[in-house]
Amino acid sequence: MSDEIGVAVLGLGNVGSEVVRIIEESAADLTARIGAPLVIRGIGVRRVDADRGVPVELLTDDIEALVSRDDVDIVVELMGPVEPARKAILAALEQGKSVVTANKALMAVSAGKLAEAAEKAHVDLYFEAAVAGAIPVIRPLTQSLAGDTVLRVAGIVNGTTNYILSEMDSTGADYASALADASALGYAEADPTADVEGWDAAAKAAILASIAFHTRVTADDVYREGITKVSAADFASARALGCTIKLLAICERLTTGKGKQQVSARVYPALVPLEHPLASVNGAFNAVVVEAEAAGRLMFYGQGAGGAPTASAVLGDLVMAARNRVQGGRGPRESKYAKLPVAPIGVIPTRYYVNMNVADRPGVLSAVSAEFSKREVSIAEVRQEGMVDDEGQRCGARIVVVTHQAKDAALSETVAALADLDVVQSINSVLRMEGTSE
């Protein structure tokens, strides 16, 4: 049995308190698995109170001093925002400590700098919990698929938005009341912006794309749209088309006409056919579908958030980092050799669903379809229904157009041109369609 492995835990919130609990409660098993006991040297918090369920002498608000202690081998960062986490992690790495973090916001913007520091110090930097909580997806991508070529990673990686969209689908609720429900049940934060505007999913997409394609992709490289404009009418139309609507994070390897490889990372709400595996992922659950050249399609499903599920992923990383310490080595280093360029959204082949109100008179459909054909966008399906006003008088028609695949730029130009047509009263919504390749 080796010497103790000293651990500093930064943060004692939802995740940190579960990590500390499991370290204490499973001490004997963890010792056997690692080959040395894990000993918590200190816990970094803002409020050092006696009443926090851990021995008060472990608590400190001096993060800098805690990570610098000679008897700390591994720092587990579970504080949250980019700062002060970045400063603490960099200090830890520079002093030769391995680091485990669940901080997606930080990893999506600073992974390069942190990985460099880990490389220099020859220590581990693990972040399985930063994407999809309990679901193992980072390690399968970095290790299990290390010999394969990943083509696509697409997933539902934000539980809050998946809960809201699932509610809208199953109850017919509009966005505002589904959000209110999610808040009341604790699935949405007081300020839900990072979730509903897709920022959280974009951070995870950046991390997934970086790993899957051996290329540095940051949050700024990710095209992003949130779910705030998705309406109950969109769900009704989606149902009629045999689809539901999901907020997807999509990372893809693309080959241009000239045979050059590029990567795409994007987040948006999309129509997904009901038979697609992601369509049945409901509530706060997450799922990630990976497609690799030799392995084919793999699906990972489970709890994407919550104290205990996230702590499971953190503990997995902590045990790996501790084992590496005991054996005197480190895990696989970051792989960014491919350096593929990130493709702009305009070149991405996709399908659109366009929902618009039009005048109810002859020639409208041909004017609308002319705008699609001018830009070589082929229409797959058109649905039209008449509308009546409060007095029961006909007042126009609602048209839903679903396209075949075309470049995103051609599709968005078409929508802009439609909005300028006299016969189009309003463009109600525009969503992409995923999970079909026609």
Query: Closest separation between CB of residue 83 and ligand NAP, Å?
Result: 8
Measured from the CB atom, the residue of 187 and 372 that comes closer to ligand NAP is 187
Q: Is 89 in the site for ligand NAP (CB under 6 A)?
A: no
Out of 5, 8, 9, 16, the residue judged to bind ligand NAP by CB under 6 A: 16
192 binds ligand NAP (CB under 6 A): no
Smallest distance from ligand NAP to CB 373, Å: 46
Are the beta carbons of 222 and 242 closer than 8 angstroms? no
Which residue do the tokens 């963890």 mark? 30
**Site for ligand NAP contains 54 (CB under 6 A):** no
The CB-nearest residue to ligand NAP is 13
Kindly state whether residue 67 participates in binding ligand NAP, applying the rule CB under 6 A.
no
Cα 52 to Cα 16, 45, 56, 59, 115, distances in angstroms: 12, 10, 8, 9, 33
Stretch that binds ligand NAP, among 38-46, 170-178, 225-233, 258-266 (CB under 6 A): 38-46
> 169, 178 in Cβ contact below 8 A?
no
Q: Does 133 bind ligand NAP (CB under 6 A)?
A: yes
Contact indicator for 247, 227 with CB cutoff of 8 Å: yes
The Cα 76–Cα 16 span in angstroms is 9
**Minimum distance of ligand NAP from residue 272's CB (angstroms):** 24
Bridging pattern class, strands 243-255 and 261-273: antiparallel
Nearer to ligand NAP, 284 or 354 (CB): 284
Structure tokens at 129: 């919990």
Name the strand (E) or helix (H) holding 90.
Answer: helix 82-94
| Other CB atoms within 10 Å distance of the CB of residue 386 | 10
Angle between helices 104-121 and 199-212 (to 10 degrees): 30
Given the complex with ligand NAP, which of 47 and 361 has the nearer CB atom? 47
Instruction: Say whether 347 counts as a known binding-site residue.
Output: no
Residue 53: strand, helix, or coil: coil
| Segment interacting with ligand NAP, rule: CB under 6 A, options 20-28, 64-72, 99-107, 233-241 | 99-107
User: Is residue 310 near ligand NAP by the rule CB under 6 A?
Assistant: yes
Query: Is the four-CA dihedral 279, 284, 287, 288 of positive or negative sign?
Result: positive
Shortest separation between residue 136's beta carbon and ligand NAP, angstroms? 14
Where along the sequence are the contacts to ligand NAP (CB under 6 A)?
11-16, 44-47, 61, 63, 78-80, 84, 102-104, 129, 133, 305-306, 310
Q: Binding site for NADP(+): residue ranges? A: 10-17
